[in-house]
Structure 1
């Protein structure tokens, strides 16, 4: 009797691990493509100014201290003030609630900053609700519906722009972004890389869950 053919000696199911490896490799490659593509879009939108005439300039909140804006919030307010003075919108909407124990909301701190620089109180609309970007933008959209306006330039930090714009449009606003070009978030390449990484994860989380990912002490929640 001759030697047993190789096919006959093959162990049943031996090819299965090869398919598992291919599946795992394909999954990893897909994840790399999705994460890399999202990071590129975060970087790309951060570099774009969507400046145009709109109904309102919306300043997303960040930390405030006894009514004084933090450096992050002050950079956003300074940029919004420039847009208002350029005549791109008849109103500025300041946004953000307060932490436990605070005397002022982020929206109030924003209004104080703007009125001290000559913006009429009648041109400032406070939306002092929301503790993260998603909640704040939903409140802004509700206020817009009540007051009969719909288009907005959303002011935040560059790396936050894509997620903020996505959330604003999902909330029903005709939104574009006008990112700040100053402040702590844009000072160094290391800081920029850290925020791009953080925003990539936060945006992917939002797209999967339609919930906001908290990013502590940054105003980027």
Structure 2
């Protein structure tokens, strides 16, 4: 067999393997999106999302609405909002989230702010520090359903005792929106899994 054919076979095998892994990961992410482990915990960590000036994006609002419900229903006593400064905003994403929760009549004393993070894993890493400072030992993780598998894996890697509590009113409702989110999450979940083994 010529070297050119050998390279072509190896390339085809690698592409097939990547495709199979991607499909398996997408299925795992989709199945996990239905998992809801909500029960009492010391706090809820709300995954950061985009803001527009001093207003949370619709995606972020739904995560915050869910967190507010967890507080009102007595599942948690503290809410940790996460997210640093983005798009040259004067306020951090977490500060915007705090303002939004206050508008929902969540007491200021119940809101803890993590405003250093730029990516999901930093959301969790810095939130864990806040947990330790406030003697909070476990957490519900709040994000969109299709984000939950990756963020829960990251929470475990950060050593946080946590349970999944996906936002039940996620803005990703239409088939096309869910598919775009799923494709994006499949990519980033696959990248993170590769990062973990390297």
Q: Shared topology, TM-score over 0.5? A: yes
Aligned to 1:217: none
- How many Å separate the matches in 1 of 2:184 and 2:146? 9
1:58 equivalent to 2:34? Answer: no
CA distance in structure 2 between the partners assigned to 1:47 and 1:139 by the alignment:
27
Runs of 5+ unmatched residues, structure 1 = 1-13, 211-221
Partner of 2:134: 147
Counterpart in the other structure of 1:174:
161
Could you tell me which residue of structure 2 aligns to residue 110 of structure 1?
97
Instruction: Pick closer, same or farther for the CA change 1:102–1:24 going to 2, 3 Å.
Output: closer
1:165-194 C-alpha deviation (Å, 9 max, x unpaired): 11111111012221123243x221011011
CA RMSD of aligned residues (A): 2.1
Is 1:202 matched up with 2:191?
no
1:213 counterpart residue number = none
Any runs of at least 4 consecutive aligned residues in structure 1 with deviations exceeding 6 A, and if so which?
A: 15-22
- Provide the rounded CA distance (Å) in 2 between the counterparts of 1:171 and 1:139: 10
Q: Which has the higher contact order (CA 8 A, sep 6+)?
A: 2
Aligned residues: 196
Larger-gyration structure (1/2):
1
Q: TM-score, normalised by structure 1?
A: 0.80
Gaps of 5+ in 2: none
Quote the offset at 1:67 in angstroms. Answer: 2.1
* Matching residue of 1:99: 86
Q: How does 1:62-141 map to 2 (within 5 A)?
A: 62-141=49-128
Alignment of 1:14-25 (within 5 A): 14=1
